[in-house]
Each structure stands twice: as C-alpha cells, then as structure tokens.
Amino acid sequence: MALIIQKYGGTSVGSPEKIQAVAEKIIGYRAQGHQLVVVVSAMSGETDRLLGLAGAMSERPTPRELDVLLATGEQATIALLSMALEERGCPARSYTGAQVHILTDNAHNKARIREIDADRVAADLAAQHVVVVAGFQGVDDKGNITTLGRGGSDTTAVALAAALKADECQIFTDVDGVYTTDPRVEPDARRLERITFEEMLEMASLGSKVLQIRAVEFAGKYNVPLRVLSSFEEGDGTLITYEAEGMEQALISGIAFNRDEAKLTALGVPDQPGVAHLILGPIAAANIEVDMIIQNMAADGKTTDFTFTVHRNDFSRGLEILQKVAGGMGASEVVGDPKIVKISLVGVGMRSHAGIASSMFETLAKEGINIRMISTSEIKVSVVVDEKYLELGVRALHETFQLDQVVTA
C-alpha cells in the first residue's frame, strides 16, 4: 500500500463527464489498496472566466478580492468530484486550502506556501476517506484567502506530498509525459521514462511547459518523486527523480527551445571598468530580465561589443533604454534583433562526456545554420539562432543525438 498524491488539471476535470471519469480512475487506484489525496484545478477555462468577471468590475482589481474570487474555481471542483466519488460508494471529503491549513505568506495572487498542517488529512486517510483538496490556494496567518499564481495546483500537490511524506506525487494532465522535445516540432520525439529534477528544471525554464517550475523546484528540494501522466490514456508517464546510483544515464535527455527571445547589441563601447554595470543597471531597473550576455573585444582593441538577450515582449523597451545609455557612453551603434530563438541540449550525461557541444555545432553548421550566441552550463548547451531555423535545428539535433532511441552515456 502506498500513499499517493494525485493532481488533476483543468482539462482533466473540464466537464461533468470528465469529473466522473476522474472519480472512476481514483476508485481504480483505491481498489489497488492505495491511500489517496487528490488535488484538483478549476474546470478548464474557469480561472480565465473569473478573471474576465473581475476585469469587468475594475481595471486593477484589489489583489485580496481577486484571490477570494479565483479560489472559487477550485472550490467548485472539489465538491463536484467528492459528490461523484460518494455517488459511487467511495467515501470522500473535500477541503479548501484554508481548511487543510495550507499556510502561505500574504503575497496575494502569487503567494508562497510556508507550511501545511497535515494532521487533518492524515486523520481522514486513516478513516479510509479519499481526501480531495483545492489546488492553487491557501490562507495567510491573518485568515485571508491567497492564491499561488497561475498553474499553482501543481505546487499544492507537491507541497502536500512533501508534508505527508507521500510515496509519489502524480500529476495527471493532457499529455502523457515529458518528451525529448516538442512533438509538434519533431514527430519522432520520444516520451522519457525518467528525467532528473535538474534536467526537468532546465527543460521547464527553457520553455517546455508541462509543469509549473516552482512545483519542480519544490519537489527537488523535498525529494518528492514526481510523475507526469495522462488523464486520458493508460501509461506510466515520466518519473522525475534524482539520479539513481548505478543507473544508466542518458547522454542527452532532451532539446528545449524558447521562441520568445530578442537580442540587443551596443557596438563600439569604450572598453573600461564598469561598462557592463552601466549598460545592464538601467535594464534591471526597468525590470527587464536578461538571459544571455556576451562581451567581446572589437577589432580596434580599444572598444568592446556588448550583446544580451531579453524576452521578446521587452525588446522595444530594452532597445530604447540601450540607445540612451550607450549613446551617453559614446558607443558607435545600437542594433537589435527580435527574431531570434534559443535551442538547448539538456542532459546530466554531459558532465562526464566531452564533445557534446562540438557535435552540436557541427550539426548546425551542416544545415547552414549560423550560431549567433552560445552559452553553456554543466548540463546544458544553448545556442541562439535566427527564428526561421528553429524547426530545422531542433530536428537535426534530435537526429544527431539519436533521441528517438534510448542511448545511454
């Protein structure tokens, strides 16, 4: 018998029929002898609908009241699912975040979980109940309802798993696991049996939107085995866990990409102490996040070219700021390109293998793809290329590293 936390996302509970199907699924797991705590999201589209209603009242609704409103989406689902379970003879109890005491800070709309009082849930489990908990919400120490930010139900599930020391946290969603890359770009993409927390964090932050990043961080921190699997199809999904000792490790786990990048360059900036700070200080002050940075010596040896990337939405604002500061520093020119993308190879197997980056560059060269920027970390190599090469680059790399098959390091 295992204690399992299951989370069903909005599409999995998107209609009365789907909620009934989830109830059947839960009963099946219970019949195998498992104890279950089930976390649910609002029915698909519901959170957006509520946001629309709030928008009709005020252009900037009070964050506290917005949380009171948004929390109703999940509250409806817990009641409906519990009714469906009870109707089928399965004892169930629904709880809001506040009721199971998911204590958060008071940052409305993006609150962080501080602690969970697991006693009430444990008592229900001991009484053979399925416990159904509203995702995405909690309560601050003054009793105000808070929400955890969009996609926050994943985090609720992981936090409950950590608090209850569950054997596994299962995230049921509309995809059947984590893939080597986006199957819409590379139809030969393969579902991974397992991936490490570190790799998953890289994949998630690089734009593979299967799980909320915060949930993956939380699971890694508390060592909660996390599994992503489909609500609609049978299968084992993908297990996210730590590298097991002696386990064969894939060389490359996946190729992540990000289409939302833009590049800004100041050419011919005097090469002096403080240049990076003078350029990036005002960018940071404008709340623009910088990703890659490259500074290289210009041909004259006295000046430097300074390039960095930002989110595409911040491109025009960033360009304006850069024109101002670079002008003041005597730069010769400021140029920008909002049509770039980042492609990254991710794999913990890289740590023990040389030559990954050079095969990556060779592959891109063969396809005639010009690399604009490069950055590396212990388990990742990223390149910036022109947007039009995204699909070609991803497919070529998928083939070079044989990601359609299991290749171990």
Binding test (CB under 6 A) with ligand ASP, winner from 153, 238, 258, 309: 153
Binding test (CB under 6 A) with ligand ASP, winner from 8, 136, 197, 389: 136
Q: Which of 71, 72, 52 lies closest to 61 in space, CA to CA?
A: 52
Binding test (CB under 5 A) with Mg ion, winner from 6, 8, 9, 135: 9
Binding test (CB under 6 A) with ligand ASP, winner from 150, 191, 311, 317: 150
Q: Does residue 231 belong to the site contacting ligand ASP (CB under 6 A)? A: no
Report the nearest approach of ligand ASP to the CB of residue 218 (Å): 14
Per-residue binder mask for ligand ASP (CB under 6 A), 72-111, x = binder: -x--------------------------------------
Rounded distance, CA 271 to CA 273, Å? 7
Rounded distance, CA 280 to CA 129, Å? 55
Q: Is 89 left (phi over 0), alpha (psi -120 to 50) or beta?
A: left
DSSP annotation of 350 reads G
Q: Which single residue is written with the structure tokens 């930010």?
A: 149
Binding test (CB under 6 A) with ligand ASP, winner from 42, 131, 145, 373: 42
Contact 309, 263 (CB under 8 A): yes
Closer CB to Mg ion, 167 or 217, in the complex: 217
- Name the segment binding ligand ASP (CB under 6 A); options: 41-49, 80-88, 172-180, 214-222: 41-49
Binding test (CB under 6 A) with ligand ASP, winner from 97, 152, 318, 336: 152
Q: Is 33 left (phi over 0), alpha (psi -120 to 50) or beta?
A: left
Q: Does residue 173 belong to the site contacting ligand ASP (CB under 6 A)? A: no
| 295 burial via Cβ count (<10 Å: 0-12, 13-18, 19+) | middle
Could you tell which of Mg ion, ligand ASP, none binds residue 34, using a CB distance below 5 to 8 A set by kind?
none
Contact 165, 225 (CB under 8 A): no
DSSP annotation of 309 reads E
Interacting residue ranges for ligand ASP, rule: CB under 6 A: 9-10, 41-42, 47, 73, 135-136, 150-153
